[in-house]
Amino acid sequence: MKAQPNEDGGYDTMTEALAALNKKGYTCNFNLISDGLEHKTEEEVIKLSPSEFDITEVHRFEGASNPSDNSILYAIESRGGLKGVLVNAYGLYADPLSSELIKKLDTRQAKGM
């Protein structure tokens, strides 16, 4: 997948972006749940509502051979300092989410970062 250009020049691949974010301390892998984000470890499950995290970076990727192969990589930081990433497919196969979470993940609002 190739990233769409971001204001900072972006990354050529999702792998490159994930490696760079990992070096910056974004080591958790978040999953979407209907009303927020979730990070599972062997010891616990951490759930974050939209008011409990900030999106610090957004990178959009599009599949070169398949236009439906689209995803967005979010760098996430919780109010408590937990840092990680969320990879989310968008378009036709997107999951139903709460309106508050949809607003939080809206990349059009994230341009001021």
pLDDT in tens, 18-70: 999 999 999 999 998 888 999 999 999 999 999 999 999 999 887 766 655 67
User: What's the predicted TM-score (pTM) here?
Assistant: 0.76
Strands of 70-78's sheet in order across: 2-3, 53-62, 70-78, 83-89, 28-29
**Separation CA 18–CA 8 (nearest Å):** 15
